[in-house]
Structure 1
Amino acid sequence: MPKSKVGLFIPTLNAATVLPKTLAVIQQSDNWLYRKLVIDSESTDETESLAMAAGFECRTISQQEFTHGKVRHWASEILSDCDYIIMMTQDVQLTPNAIRNLIMFIEQYPNMLVAYGRQRVDMHKGSIFEYKARLFNYPAHNLVKTKADIPELGVMTAFSSDAFSIYSQPKLREIGNFPDDINFAEDNYMAATGILKGFEVGYCADAEVKHTHHYTLLGEYQRYISIGKFHRQNPWIQKSFGRNESAGIKSVFSEYGFLIKKGYWYLIPYSTARFGAKFLGYKRGQY
C-alpha cells in the first residue's frame, strides 16, 4: 500500500472505445488510489458515464477552453488533498502492476518532481519505427535525472511523458504548477523547469504501458511543427539543455543501425523520409 494519498487524472474526449480496458486495470489498483478524476472535453459518447461507473469524479471543460496545461493545472487543484497525482492519457493501455510500481518508485525519492513509466508499442497497431522510437526513449533500466546530467544527456535530461507519469503535488506547486497557456509538450516544460529548480526527474522501467500512435508521414510532419513551435516559444529549454537537433541526429543513426541489425535494411529509405518529414515540420514550427 502507498504511504501517501495518490490521485489519478485522465483528460478525455470521446474515449468510449478505448476506456473500458484501461478502467478495468485501474479498478484492480483501486487500493493504491485515494481519488480518481476525469475532466472531459464535451464528449458526445458514453465517456462520462463509463468513468462514473468506474468510480471517477467527473468534470467538464469546453473544447474552446481546453489546453494541455490548463486541464492539468485544474486537475491538480481539484486533487489538492493528494500528495501525488498520476497523469494519464485515455489511449494508454496499463499493465497490471504499472500504477503500483510507479507510486512505489517516486516514494523512494523525496526530491523528485515527476516520474514517468515505460512505454511500449502494441505491434498489432503500431510499426517497427514506433517500436524502435520507444526503445530509444524508454530504456530497460531506471533513471534518476538531475541538473548534473545535462552535459551527458542534453535535452533528454528533461524528457518526460504525461501519457503515464506521477507528480509530487507539493513540488508541482513550488514551481508554479502547469501554465494555463501551454498546449503542447507540457510534460517537457514541467520536467525542464523542475530540473533547473534542483529537483529530480525519474523514469521507472517497471511501470510499463502500451502507447501506440502509428503516425503517417503527414502526421509526423504536423507533430513536429508543434514541437518546433514549442521550442520557439520556450527558447530557454534549449539554451539550458542543448539543441534538440543533437538528440534527433542520435535517433537517426540509432534507427538506421537497428534496421540493419534486424534485417529491415530495405526500410531505410522510408526511415529517411520520416526523419525528413520531422525535420521539415520542426523547422516550419520554428518560424
Structure 2
Amino acid sequence: MLKIGLFIPTYNAGEEFSQVLDLINQQSEQLTDKYIIDSSSTDNTVAIAKDKGFNVDVIKSSEFTHGKVRTDAAKKLAHCDYLIYMTQDVYLQPNAINELIYFIQKHETVGVAYGKQEVDKKTGNIFEERARQFNYGDQELIKTIDQVDEYGVKIYFSSDAFAIYNCRLLAEINFFDESLMFGEDAYAAAHFIKKGYGVGYVPSAKVFHTHKFSLKNEYIRYIEIGKFHIQNAWLLKEFGSNESEGIKMVLNETGFLIKSGKILLIPYAYLRYVAKYLGYRKGMRQATKELKGE
C-alpha cells in the first residue's frame, strides 16, 4: 500500500488556518502522514494543527529557511512514497489531492507535479487573477529536458504552494539547498529536469491561493527573486534569461486590461512592474555583493 505524506510549514497562520486544515481532512483518505513544522508561532497555529490531527514540530524562527524545512520534512517522512507540499494559505478545491496523486502515480519519471492555483475573486485583485491565468493554464503538462527551447525559464516553473514529489527521486537530487530563503521549488524542479526527469502540471488539481500583495509586498518579493537568480546563476546560464518571460507578462496583462475596459488601471499596473523591476535589481546587487564578501 502506498504511503503518502502531506507537509505544511507554518508561522502565525491565523484562525482561518482551521479552514485550510478542514479542507485537507475532507480529502485525507489517502494520506498516511500529516506533518507541520512551525517556526515558533505566537498565535494559535500549533494548537489548531494538533486539534485537526496533524503532527507538529516547533523550531526557532531563526532556524527557518524554505529549503531547510522542506528537506527536514522529506527526511522525517522518508518512509513515504510521495509527499505533498502545501503552504498555510492554500484552500483546496474538490478532489485536488486525489488528482495530484493519480497524476504522479501514472508518470513514474515525474519528480514533481504541481496543481493549478486560482485567485479567490472575493478577496483577490484583477492583477493577481491575471497573473495566475498567465502561469496556470488549462493544459496538462510534463516538461522535460528536450523541451528547454520551447519553455525557456518556465521549464523549471513549479510551486510548493501545492505540489507532490516522488520521494525516491527527491532523495536522488539530494532534496533542497537548505540555505534557500526563496525558490526551493524552482531549484528542485531544475534539478529534476537536469537529471532527465519530468516536471508535471495538473490543472485538474485546483486550489485557491490569494496573496493580496501591495506595491511594497511586490518590491520585497522581487528582491528575493533577484537574490535567488544571482545565488543560482546556473539556472539562467542553462535555461536562459527570464527577461523575455517578463515582457510577455507585461504585454499580456496590458492587453487584458484594455480588452476588459479597465484602461484606468494601466498606470497602476505599470507601477507594479516598476516595483518588481526595482526590487529584482536590488536583490541582484545585494546577492552579488554578498558573494564577493563586500
Do Structure 1 and Structure 2 share a fold, with TM-score over 0.5? yes
* Structure-2 separation of matches of 1:47 and 1:63: 14
* 2:15–2:44 CA contact under 8 A, matched in 1: no
> Would you say 1:145 and 2:143 are equivalent positions?
yes
Q: Aligned AA for 1:177?
A: F
* Structure-2 separation of matches of 1:87 and 1:257: 34
* Structure-2 separation of matches of 1:182 and 1:224: 15
Deviation at 1:233, TM superposition (A): 0.5
* Structure-2 separation of matches of 1:44 and 1:17: 12
Partner residue of 2:13 out of 12, 15, 32: 15
> Would you say 1:203 and 2:181 are equivalent positions?
no
How many residues align structurally? 285
* 1:117–1:207 CA contact under 8 A, matched in 2: yes
Tell me, what secondary structure is at the counterpart of 2:62?
A: coil
Partner residue of 2:96 out of 95, 98, 101: 98
Partner residue of 2:107 out of 87, 106, 109: 109
Partner residue of 2:258 out of 253, 257, 260: 260
Structure-2 residue corresponding to 1:283: 281
1:110-139 deviations in Å (ceiling 9; x for gaps):
000000000000122111000000000000
Task: Provide structure 1 residue ranges, at least 5 long, that are not aligned to the other structure.
Answer: none
Structure-2 residue corresponding to 1:71: 69
* 1:86–1:166 CA contact under 8 A, matched in 2: yes
* Structure-2 separation of matches of 1:84 and 1:11: 17
Partner residue of 2:221 out of 211, 220, 223: 223
Deviation at 1:27, TM superposition (A): 1.1
* 1:111–1:199 CA contact under 8 A, matched in 2: yes
1:4-57 deviations in Å (ceiling 9; x for gaps):
211000111112322111111111122110111011111122211211122211
* Structure-1 separation of matches of 2:112 and 2:177: 16
* Structure-2 separation of matches of 1:159 and 1:114: 11
Structure-2 residue corresponding to 1:164: 162
* 2:14–2:44 CA contact under 8 A, matched in 1: yes
> Would you say 1:243 and 2:241 are equivalent positions?
yes
> Would you say 1:124 and 2:122 are equivalent positions?
yes
> Would you say 1:26 and 2:38 are equivalent positions?
no
1:123-165 deviations in Å (ceiling 9; x for gaps):
2211100000000000012111011111011000100000000
Describe how 1:174-185 pairs up with structure 2 within 5 A.
174-185=172-183
* Structure-2 separation of matches of 1:158 and 1:70: 20
1:210-258 deviations in Å (ceiling 9; x for gaps):
0111111111111111100100110000111110111101100011111
Identity fraction in percent: 51
* 1:18–1:90 CA contact under 8 A, matched in 2: no
* Structure-1 separation of matches of 2:108 and 2:12: 37
* Structure-1 separation of matches of 2:186 and 2:281: 19
Q: Aligned AA for 1:66?
A: F
Deviation at 1:194, TM superposition (A): 0.9
Task: Provide structure 2 residue ranges, at least 5 long, that are not aligned to the other structure.
Answer: 286-294
* Structure-2 separation of matches of 1:216 and 1:47: 25
* Structure-2 separation of matches of 1:161 and 1:6: 19
Tell me, what secondary structure is at the counterpart of 1:107?
A: helix
TM-score (norm 2): 0.95
Structure-1 residue corresponding to 2:270: 272
Tell me, what secondary structure is at the counterpart of 1:133?
A: helix
Structure-2 residue corresponding to 1:42: 40
Structure-2 residue corresponding to 1:61: 59
* 1:16–1:50 CA contact under 8 A, matched in 2: no
Structure-1 residue corresponding to 2:87: 89
